[in-house]
């Protein structure tokens, strides 16, 4: 079975609630050369570092698992950061759809 990065984006009533990124792309057999995983990690960690109000989020970062979750209304700045992250991840999915899937739940 092919490994894959699974991204789940959840919003309720038009407001961001959670994004969870799980798995490994395994897009190459050469250790340390997985461009898909490197891109997903860079985009995601960069977005987390850019949050204006990180204290209102529950943030989990483990090997192969990142989750950003909140039950509060987020600032416009943080909404733009998360939206930009999702656009960048969708761009990777467009090019490397065998290794990354994005699901949105409303």
pLDDT, tens only, 19-40: 999 998 988 777 777 899 999 9
DSSP SS3 for 12? strand
d(CA 72, CA 56): 7
pLDDT of residue 36: 92
Mean pLDDT, residues 52-71: 96
Q: Using CA of residue 78, residue 61, residue 68, residue 92, what is the dihedral sign?
A: positive
Q: Does the pLDDT at position 2 exceed 80?
A: no
Residue 91 pLDDT exceeds 70? yes
Q: List the structure tokens of 60.
A: 């989990």
Structure tokens at 102: 């994005």
- DSSP per residue, 65-98: EEEEE-SSPPPHHHHHHHHHHHHHHHHHHHH-TT
Give pTM, 2 decimals. 0.92
10: Cα within 13 Å, side-chain hemisphere: 11
Has residue 82 got a pLDDT over 90?
yes
For residue 33, the model assigns a pLDDT of 74
For 64-75, what is the mean pLDDT?
A: 96
């Amino acid at each position: 079975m092919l490994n894959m990065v699974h991204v789940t984006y959840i919003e309720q009533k038009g407001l961001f609630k959670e994004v969870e990124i799980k798995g490994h792309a395994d897009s190459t057999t050469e250790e340390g050369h997985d461009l898909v995983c490197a891109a997903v990690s860079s985009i995601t960690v960069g977005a987390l570092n850019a949050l204006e109000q990180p204290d209102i989020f529950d943030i989990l970062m483990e090997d192969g698992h990142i989750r950003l979750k909140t039950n509060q209304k987020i600032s416009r700045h943080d909404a733009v950061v998360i939206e930009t992250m999702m656009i960048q991840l969708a761009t990777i999915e467009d090019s490397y759809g065998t290794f990354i899937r994005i699901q949105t739940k409303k």
